[in-house]
Amino acid sequence: MPHFLVEPEDEYIVKNKPVTLSCRSTPATQIYFKCNGEWVHQDDHLIERTVDPATALPVMQVTIEITRQQVEKIFGLDEYWCQCVAWSTTGTQKSQKAYIRIAYLRKNFEEEPQGKEVALDQEVLLHCHPPEGVPQAEVEWQRNEDVLDPLSDPNFFITPDNNLVIKKARLLDTGNYTCVAKNIVARRKSNSATVLVYVNGGWSTWTTWSSCSAVCGRGWQKRSRSCTNPTPLNGGTSCEGQNVQKSACVATCPVDGGWSEWSKWSACGADCSMWRSRECSQPSPGTGGKDCQGLDLQSMNCTSEQCPQNHIYRLSTAQGDSCSESHSPVSGAEDVALYVGMVAVALCLTLLLIVVVLVYRRKKEGLDADVADSSILTTGFQPMGIKPSKPENSHLLTIQPDLTTTTTSYQGTLRSRHDTAGKFSMTNGPLLDPLPNGSHTLHNGKLNSDTTEFVSRLSTQTYFKTLPRDVANTSYGTFNFLGGRLTIPNTGISLLIPPEAIPRGKIYEIYLTVQRKEDLRLPLAGCQTLLSPIVSCGPPGVVLSRPVILSMDHCFDACLDNWAVRLKKQNYEGAWEDVLLMGEELVSEPYYCQLEAETCRLFTEQLGTFALVGESLHMGAAKRLRLVLFSDAYCSTLEYNIRVYCMDDTQDVFKEVMQMERQLGGRLIDEPHVLLFKDSYHNLRLSIHDMPQAHWRSKLLAGYQEIPFYHIWNGSQRYLHCTFTLERLSLSTCELTCQLCVWQVEGEGQSFALDFNIAKDTRGLDSEFLLMDSNATALAGPSAFQIPYLIRQKICGSLDAPCPNGADWRMLAQRLKLERHMSFFASKASPTSVILDLWEAQHFHSGNINQLATVMADIGKQEAMIFLVSDGEC
């Protein structure tokens, strides 16, 4: 009987490629294939005859090809099969049947996985029923395009029916899950299912109670907790309840010590001295009160009969009668010598003081000669491009200059405010080095290679190594006692240096710069959040005679009932210190803040690096976020991107984003909106709706995008963005209409109604939302101020002195709506001067000096008494 060495195996026809069947038998005289009960034609067989070397028996091998057409003839009736039949002299033998099937894999899954939002540690089940196919498809799972291996990660389990089980959801399990089916024909992927593992927030433990806010009497103390145990993530619920608790407290008032009465003088001692004492006991100092000031022990020389030495002297010189008055004790001669010496010292000191005063007056006269031309101090004060609102008062605040004055020894260039080209930046000098030959040369300059040189040179010094090298956001100039102004364009940041702030005879090179996030990181703790740009002005350590005013934007609701806002300053070691708590300013401190709706004006007598940091007192506290939409200026593909920026509502951040988008080739597609983002621990969500489904579709897998609360509130990055990728179904589609919504969960929201042509809309970034500031970055002397110097002096001389009917600086503060700062103004040598400084800082671009003149007229100060200055006075 023949037996088969090789029998035919089951085969699959892939596409149109034929399959080959083979069988081998020994010993055999004939061998043929039979398919579906019919003999295959002899011409379709490929027969080979060989000899088995082991047994020397003849071996026959036959091969045939089966095509797709042959199988399709009986498709649906029965399975196509073939088998070998071998003959020999000893009998006949049949091989096993080999089945030939057409392989395929359908496109659509019978069941696809669905996205889920699950809590941490929850079990997740994702279903998958692969498409029908021959042979049956094998299934694997992917997370974010990476194949999952249950052997390497036992947290995953794939069931026999191809479902995926995540035993305990972890944060790292958040992602897009895809079911993949494959066989010898094709590989199919299901739609991705987004699994979002969220964490519900939990409260931390309460902090200890703070110290009582009052030094003496009733006050309040607080304690806080944060929703960080754990922190809510991925849309998890925030903690319920308040994060800050307040409690009334009573602080024991400090008791300052008081002296008791002096004791009686002691008896005269052997050293001719006697003493008396007192104690700090009426009352004794307590609860942090001050100790008594002064001596607790006094001594004095005793003479005459009280001194024992005098008695001995008198006994040794007496001749039977008492000592005559001509015999003076030795101590009397010593006292005379002492008095003579004291008088001599006093005369020497008086002569030295007279010499110092004379030298100072000569130097002062030499410096004042530089500004002897009164036209420098009285002209060029009318603001550009602003018409007087009240012509009848236009003659106020006007001085006729003395054109006969010949003293013009000032070596710089001071130009009228009417000359727009004459605004000059005082630049290009070495830091705090005197100018050559002692001349006060004021350089005209712009931000160019000189500025780059200055910033580079400044950054090499030890304290300034943390300063940014961003020339576009740095301004500097050289200033003397006439003062000036530094401005960083399009940022809302400026530094006003009032007249006389720099001591006469001094020349300072001063800089102003805004720090970027990559340059300096300000540490935040708890509920703290950054409310302003980080601004540096310097150099630190310069001596100022009066405060300068640093103006910068802030991004909170300006309600101090909701906030504890602190001014922070960086010290020489780089650490940040709290130097001021807003609303509790002390006029004796070197810092004072004037808070406006969107701007903070900082009066400071010390230059350095400053920032505003806020801590919310309850969940009603809100930051202002500016929402800005950009898109690609040109789109040649089916995909179209819309970028949504969420940033602090300050001009410097907006400028930074606009510059970045200009580099990316983006364009602004709608007006910016402002959103009040509250301290409620709820995330910010963004979604897009109402697109025409026949032309557009969103490639966003979830219903919305989300920015975590802490990324906005505590993050070091002052702007964040999300991108919506849209797909148009045809390149001819150019009209896009949709609604884009941005809202805080359980809070306020804003929506953008978009309707524009992506091909024809050519609005670039040079729009009305980024007006280029053409003003010089540094202005020195009279050109930096609207009020001329001499007129300013007249106003101060008139209003500083108290007036019985109240027509003094206090009424000026009330008319300018600055009465909240009365105590601060009153603490200054010239309250009017500080008020005018603040007016200059507020109204440099928009102020009208005629309006100020109207206020002066309303106060009752007539121009004939105050503002008319004769030629001789000029």
The encoded tokens of residue 296 equal: 């607790």
At 217, the amino acid letter reads G
Q: Is 208 helix (H, G, I), strand (E, B) or coil?
A: coil
Q: What is the pLDDT of residue 444?
A: 35
Q: What is the pLDDT of residue 112?
A: 93
Q: What is the pLDDT of residue 862?
A: 52
Answer whether 378's CB lies under 8 Å from 398's CB.
no
Answer whether 356's CB lies under 8 Å from 827's CB.
no
Answer whether 125's CB lies under 8 Å from 165's CB.
yes
Q: What is the pLDDT of residue 385?
A: 35
User: 179 exposed, middle or buried (CB, 10 Å; 0-12, 13-18, 19+)?
Assistant: buried
* Cβ contacts of 437 within 8 Å, gap of 6 or more: none
State the Cα–Cα distance between residues 627 and 154, nearest whole angstrom.
44
The encoded tokens of residue 345 equal: 């010292």
Output phi, psi for 133, to 5 deg.
-165, 160
The encoded tokens of residue 536 equal: 């540096």
Which domains does the chain possess?
3-104 (2.60.40.10), 106-198 (2.60.40.10), 477-616 (2.60.220.30), 622-757 (2.60.40.2660), 785-867 (1.10.533.10)
Q: What is the pLDDT of residue 519?
A: 64
* Cβ contacts of 852 within 8 Å, gap of 6 or more: 397, 787, 839
Q: Is 162 left (phi over 0), alpha (psi -120 to 50) or beta?
A: left
State the Cα–Cα distance between residues 137 and 863, nearest whole angstrom.
98
State the Cα–Cα distance between residues 689 and 694, nearest whole angstrom.
14
Q: What is the pLDDT of residue 59?
A: 86
Eight-state DSSP code of residue 280: B
- Residue in the block written with tokens 């009228």: 416
- Residue in the block written with tokens 């900082």: 602
Q: What is the pLDDT of residue 496?
A: 96
Q: What is the pLDDT of residue 415?
A: 34
Q: What is the pLDDT of residue 309?
A: 58
CA dihedral 436, 438, 441, 445 (to 10 degrees): 40
Per-10-residue mean pLDDT, the chain, length 874: 87 89 85 88 85 82 89 75 88 90 90 92 93 90 92 92 93 93 91 92 90 75 88 86 80 84 85 88 84 88 65 44 39 64 86 84 52 37 36 40 33 34 35 35 40 56 52 88 93 94 93 79 79 92 93 90 90 88 85 92 94 85 92 86 93 91 88 90 89 88 86 80 90 90 87 85 50 70 88 88 84 88 89 93 76 82 42 34
Answer whether 555's CB lies under 8 Å from 794's CB.
no
pTM value?
A: 0.53
Q: What is the pLDDT of residue 438?
A: 35
